[in-house]
Amino acid sequence: MSVPAVFVLGHPEYYPRFGFRTASRFGCRCEWDVPDEVFMIRWLSDEQQRSGIVRYCTAFGEEC
pLDDT in tens, 28-44: 999 999 999 999 999 99
Q: Can you spell out the DSSP letters for 13-56? A: TTGGGGT-EEGGGGTEEESS---GGGEEEEES-STT---EEE--
SS3 5: strand
pLDDT score recorded for residue 11: 95
Provide the residue ranges of all domains of the chain, joining segments of one domain with +: 5-54
Mean pLDDT of all residues in 41-50: 84
- pTM for this entry: 0.83
d(CA 3, CA 16): 19
d(CA 4, CA 50): 9
User: If you average pLDDT over every residue of the chain, what do you get?
Assistant: 89
